[in-house]
Chain A
């Protein structure tokens, strides 16, 4: 059989799909989990966050995050009614111990929980010189701690400031979206601990996930959309002053 150029080009997508089926789909040790059936993101509802810091504490306990470093943290914004572009932001100890009461000075106040956005086109993985940061087939950005040289390029490349240099492992470190939990059918530690449902793990490939109804009926935004990172952290009621 002789194929012309057009036929070969048509075959390429089919070959790409076939290649996906060559790859293993169940991570070793998680026999009931198929990576190709999930696409993870998270919904963060700013109207529900009370700044209690439960998520930050839960993350530290679940993932052994070193003291003074954060895979997730909570910021409190004070936006005055005359200077929207310059909000006052505080996050004492990442919000882990809660927040002082704050002063009523007019303007508006709200909490913004932050963590890795698990971007589809993540700047951190693009700059890694050794390919230590990778995307799993279910949409999670992870760090291979054996490959990581500790060059810190990714830490300064992340536009959301979600990475840090681990003081003991001497590698880059960040949120794993509790990959050890979601592959066992559990939610992340921060979502498990959140008392108000301000954080909800979302599986965008699951048609029954409540995220779909929520996205249809609410004004949802991602952080820094102009950077086109493909962030999968969907914020409900995100104020324009949030950076």
Chain B
């Protein structure tokens, strides 16, 4: 045992290290949020907060559930690739509570020219008009049915 008689200073050193370790573990558990590292090297709760935001746009599948007639009308026309809320605006509240939240019809005078007014930078094949020359101030839906604005409806080719 003679060779271990001076071990006391090592025990003190080990004690210091142990205290340091305990301090580190306590400090770590207090400062690092519980959800840190749950999904990866970040605060998991932040990801949950962002993924649980409420919706504004319900998505076209929700619309087509209750309005299959409009979906069918639209499916054969040139507007078939348009989603409902592209024109009608965000309607998640209406989809959640169709009885009480009624959507407002979009203003055709503004809605159509948003996409179809002439612009030099639009793709050449895209149908564009100078609204004043084209209809002389008449509302677009006098001739065009917005859900299927084919040219047979009276509109110009």
Interface residues of A (CB under 8 A from B): 23-25, 27-30, 35, 47-54, 58, 61-63, 76-78, 98-104, 109-111, 131, 134-137, 142, 144-147, 176, 179-181, 183-184, 186-187, 189, 192-197
Query: Which 6 A-B residue pairs are closest in the complex by CB-CB distance?
Result: A134-B42, A109-B121, A144-B46, A102-B120, A180-B53, A186-B59
Pick the residue among A24, A51, A184 that contacts B38 (CB under 8 A): A24
* Cα–Cα, bound, A136→B51 (Å): 11
B48: Cβ under 8 A from any A Cβ: yes
The segment from B9-17, B23-31, B83-91, B132-140 found at the interface with A is: B83-91
> How many B residues are at the interface, by size bracket?
35 or more
Contacts of A111 in B (CB 8 A): 121-122
Contacts of B81 in A (CB 8 A): 195-197
Pick the residue among B37, B53, B86, B123 that contacts A194 (CB under 8 A): B86
Asked if A147 and B43 sit within 8 Å, CB to CB, the answer is: yes
Contacts of A63 in B (CB 8 A): 53
Interface residues of B (CB under 8 A from A): 37-44, 46-57, 59-60, 81-83, 85-87, 89-90, 114-115, 117-123, 126
Q: Give the distance to chain B from A77, nearest Cβ to Cβ, in Å.
A: 7
Pick the residue among B39, B60, B120 that contacts A24 (CB under 8 A): B39
* Cα–Cα, bound, A147→B36 (Å): 12
Asked if B53 and A193 sit within 8 Å, CB to CB, the answer is: no
Contacts of A136 in B (CB 8 A): 39-40, 47
Asked if B39 and A98 sit within 8 Å, CB to CB, the answer is: no
Contacts of A187 in B (CB 8 A): 59
Asked if A62 and B56 sit within 8 Å, CB to CB, the answer is: yes
Q: Give the distance to chain A from B109, nearest Cβ to Cβ, in Å.
A: 14
A-B contact pairs, 9 of them (CB 8 A): A49-B123, A58-B90, A98-B117, A98-B119, A111-B122, A134-B47, A145-B46, A192-B83, A192-B85
Pick the residue among B43, B50, B85 that contacts A193 (CB under 8 A): B85
Asked if A134 and B46 sit within 8 Å, CB to CB, the answer is: yes
Asked if A50 and B48 sit within 8 Å, CB to CB, the answer is: no
* A75 and chain B: residue at smallest CB distance: B121
* Cα–Cα, bound, A7→B54 (Å): 50
Asked if A176 and B50 sit within 8 Å, CB to CB, the answer is: yes
Asked if A195 and B115 sit within 8 Å, CB to CB, the answer is: yes
Contacts of B114 in A (CB 8 A): 52-54, 98
Asked if B123 and A142 sit within 8 Å, CB to CB, the answer is: no
Asked if A137 and B55 sit within 8 Å, CB to CB, the answer is: no
* Cα–Cα, bound, A103→B89 (Å): 31
